[in-house]
Each structure stands twice: as C-alpha cells, then as structure tokens.
Amino acid sequence: LKLSNPSAPKPNVIIIYCDDLGYGDLGCYGNRVIRTPNIDGLARDGMRFTDYYSCNAVCAPSRVGLLTGRYPFRTGIIGNPYPAENPLLRKIEREIAYQFTPMGSFDQHEDYVAAGISSKEITIAQALKIAGYNTAMVGKWHLGDYSREPQFNPLKHGFDQYLGVPHSNDMQPCPLFRNETQLEADIGTNQARLTGMYTREALAFIEKSKGNPFFLYFAHTFPHQPLYASERFAGKSKAGKFGDAVEEIDWSVGEITKKLRELNIEQNTIIFFASDNGPWYEGSPGVHRGRKGQSYEGGFRVPFIVKWPGHIRPGQVSSELAVNLDIFPTLLTLAGIEHPSDRVIDGKSIEGLLSGRETVSPHDIVYFYHYDQLEGVRFGKWKYLRRLNRYVWPVPLDAEYITSRMGKKALGDRWPLLYDLSLDPGENYNVIATYPDVAGKLEGMLAQWEKTAEKNPRGFLE
C-alpha cells in the first residue's frame, strides 16, 4: 500500500456498527415505537440507503468483510469464532479452515471456522495509518479470541488503541480488555454499563485526536442478545429491552455528533452508521422476510447512513445497491491511498454516489453466502435463491409443505426460489414458474462466480 494522492482530503472517519439491528428498527426506516432522533438526524443531514447489504448474515463474517473489503470466504472467517479453550487445537483447526473451507469443501460447522483474522489481511485501520491517521477501536471485535491467541488483538491489525470484548456478549467467558491488558476476566451479566463505557472511550479518543486525521471503529455490543441498558434507559422505551438498548445507542450517537461540533471538526468528519446483519430473536426487518442467519432480505439488508457535511447533500435517499465491502475501497479513495494490487478486493468505491458525481451503483450483483455456501444472488430487481440453510425461523413458507393426499411431484419443488423485489420486497411470491429464463440466467451467474472463485478462493494475486 502507498499514497496515490498526498493532497487528498483525509477526512476523519467514524464507523458506528450495531450488532443485530434490523432494517426496521430506526425511525428513519419507518419504526414508530423506538425513539432514534440522533440516528434519524444522521439521515436528515446525510444519505440514507434503502438497498444496502451486509456481506453475510452473521456477526464475524460481516465484520471481516467490512474491515477488509473482501468476501468472508477469502479470509477463512466464514462463521463466528468461539472462545478459544484449547489454543493448540484451535491452531490446528484454523490451519484446516484456512486451507480447505473455501467454496464448500467442509460442512457448515463451527469447528471448521477460522479462529481469527489472518495477518495477511489488510484492514481499514492498517491502510489509513499509511496516510497518517490515528486509529482506535471500541467495542466488540469478534475476529479472534485474543485473550488466548494474542495475534488476533486489534492492536496487531492496525489499531493504535482498543477497549472492548473479543466476541459476542452471550459467549462466556467474555473478558474486557484495554489494548493488550485484560481488565476483567468475564463481564458476565454486568453489561448495562457497556454502551456508556464505550461512548466515554470514543469521546476521549476524538478529543485526543482532534489535531490529526483519525479513524474510530465503534462496534456496539447491542442490541445483540442478551439485552441490557443502563439505569437511565432501562424500561424507558416502548419496545422492551430491545428498544431500551437501541435508544441508548441513539444517545451515544448524539454524544459523538455533539463532540464533533464542540471541537469544530464536524465538517471534516465522515460518519458511517450500519448494522452487521439483520435482527435475531427481537427486532424488526421492516417489510422484509427473514432474520439473522438467513439469506432472505431480512438477514442481509440493513440500515446504512452516511453523513459528511459539505460533501454529501443532506436528506438524500439512495436506492442504489451497496455492500459493506464497499467501505474499505471508499475510504482508501478518500484518503488518497492506492488500492491493494496483490489481492482481490470485492468491494467497490461508492465515493461517487456519496458525492453526487455518480447516480448509478458500481454494483449490479450481490451474492448471498451462509458460511461458505453460496445460496443466492440479486441482479437488478431479481433475487434468486438456489436453496436455504437450516438456520430457520418461524416465518411463512419456511417449513416443508406435505399432505397425506398430494405427493411432492404435485406440489412442485421447494427450491430454487425467484422473487421480483420491485413488486415483492417481502419475498412472499415465488415466480420461478413464470420467469424460468430469468432463473436460468441467475443460476448461470452463480455457477460462473463459483467457477471463478474456486480457481483462487483466497484471492491473493501473483
């Protein structure tokens, strides 16, 4: 990596990443129960996307895609790494996973998930440091249990400072770390303090870095289960514990934007707000079908808001395709950093969309993976699902329909599925019988993508 444009603007960068926040959980996305005035303010002052996707519908793969701009199967993190109880065993599993998991070589089982992010990957933090950025991470990492395997610590992957936990709050033990020092062996159920603690740390970093370009990756623990909120917010929302947690996150967003105004650096700071995937047990996917872990829209399509005063016109709503993989190349472009030439970067810069210089997405295709299994594709208004995994939820049509009088031949095949998202965003009507030619074209796209990916699944170039 090297600078390609030393005179690039180099804005301060803040990524606020929620955990299991659904498409329909914010006021600016139609929610009328949970109060989110500060997040809605980001949308009012910036650009809100309606067709933004995570690269995966579970936590860790989404995060490695965000930070590297690469599909998770390229990194080996195809599912959620669990706490490392046996480092030697995990090392063996990691090597197995890294060599053999691409494109379905192993079954979908957590034991074969890579234990953490490889040192070969380049993160946003590592890239921005080339342009002179101060970097910090606050919150949930979930790219390797650094409490047992220190090579996965955020400080080894481009961050100057860190306060947070190695994985999800339902995985025990869940230690609290500052940099490479363990502060607590297990946060246990003492989690109501987390959002406030994270926010204070973020504000201190912004204050300290005000004279230098900075990158803050603020990855909230909530609203992932189990749900907690501080005394100030507990029981105050009209949406139970989930709503309490989201309203406290909204407060945190307000504190961040207030600090930027106080320091007179708001105009030179770009804020990205998003969720890692769709909602889990609670939360709303909006009009969309499915939830976390599923390749229906509700698992992958999430809120995405970008604010940069003076550069992004306020109040815009974009229906263009975007993926969380795009944030990596977009930030490299803004910071004047040459994009890596030694590896495939799956994301595409959306700087033109944000600035208004371009009106059409650089994407025309989005792929849907569950672990390393390629399940579907979106092309324009069409969504094609080859089949779905067994990460099921009690939503319509997910169960096999069998009667005593009619056999499978009479009922038709369950797979594949074809939806016209322009008419049916809820994916309620399978129109494959009406448009078999469209389904054939999309299946061909999947086959071609698999063929290309299998030739070089890790995407490193000679």
On whether both 361 and 373 belong to a single domain, the answer is no
Q: In the prediction, which pLDDT does 104 show?
A: 38
The strand pair at 134-140 and 365-370 is best described as unpaired
What range does the domain containing 425 cover?
368-455
On whether both 131 and 190 belong to a single domain, the answer is yes
Q: In the prediction, which pLDDT does 96 show?
A: 60
For residues 234 and 8, the model is more confident at 234
- Share above pLDDT 90 across residues of the chain, in percent, rounded to a whole number: 82
Q: In the prediction, which pLDDT does 109 show?
A: 41
Q: In the prediction, which pLDDT does 398 show?
A: 52
- Is there a domain that residue 3 lies in? no
Residues 92-128 as b/e (b if ≥16 CB within 10 A, e otherwise) read ebbebbbeebbbeebebeeebbbbbbbeebbbbbbbb
- Is the model's pLDDT at 457 over the cut of 70? yes
- Is there a domain that residue 281 lies in? yes
On whether both 261 and 393 belong to a single domain, the answer is no
Number of domains in the chain: 2
On whether both 258 and 394 belong to a single domain, the answer is no
Q: Where are the beta strands (DSSP E) in 223-279?
A: 269-275
Q: In the prediction, which pLDDT does 106 show?
A: 37
Each residue's pLDDT tens digit, 86-137: 555 556 655 665 555 544 333 334 444 688 999 999 999 999 999 999 999 9
On whether both 342 and 413 belong to a single domain, the answer is no
Choice among 151-165, 253-267, 278-292, 381-395 with the minimum mean pLDDT: 381-395
Q: Give catalytic residue positions.
A: 59, 142
On whether both 175 and 258 belong to a single domain, the answer is yes
- Is the model's pLDDT at 340 over the cut of 70? yes
Q: In the prediction, which pLDDT does 387 show?
A: 86
On whether both 357 and 397 belong to a single domain, the answer is no
Q: What is the pTM of this model?
A: 0.93
- Contact (CB, 8 A) for 286 and 22: yes
On whether both 266 and 400 belong to a single domain, the answer is no
CATH number for the domain that contains residue 425: 3.30.1120.10
Choosing from 342, 365, 388, the residue where a domain stops is 365
- Is there a domain that residue 84 lies in? yes
- Is the model's pLDDT at 409 over the cut of 80? no
Using pLDDT thresholds of 50, 70 and 90, give the confidence band for residue 399: low
CATH number for the domain that contains residue 294: 3.40.720.10
Q: Across residues 324-339, what is the average pLDDT?
A: 98
Task: Compute how many other C-beta atoms are within 10 angstroms of the C-beta atom of residue 407.
Answer: 9
Q: In the prediction, which pLDDT does 419 show?
A: 98
Q: What does the CA dihedral 226, 230, 235, 240 come to, rounded to 10 degrees?
A: -30
Choosing from 316, 340, 365, the residue where a domain stops is 365
Q: In the prediction, which pLDDT does 81 show?
A: 85
- Is there a domain that residue 28 lies in? yes
Average pLDDT over the chain reads 91
Choosing from 365, 383, 412, the residue where a domain stops is 365
- Is the model's pLDDT at 226 over the cut of 70? yes
Q: In the prediction, which pLDDT does 9 show?
A: 87
On whether both 359 and 440 belong to a single domain, the answer is no
- Amino acid in the structure at residue 201: E
On whether both 336 and 379 belong to a single domain, the answer is no
Using pLDDT thresholds of 50, 70 and 90, give the confidence band for residue 323: very high
- Is there a domain that residue 1 lies in? no
- Is there a domain that residue 4 lies in? no
Cα–Cα dist 424/437, whole Å: 19
- Is the model's pLDDT at 165 over the cut of 70? yes
Q: What does the CA dihedral 300, 305, 311, 313 come to, rounded to 10 degrees?
A: 110
On whether both 325 and 436 belong to a single domain, the answer is no
On whether both 373 and 361 belong to a single domain, the answer is no
- Is the model's pLDDT at 84 over the cut of 80? no
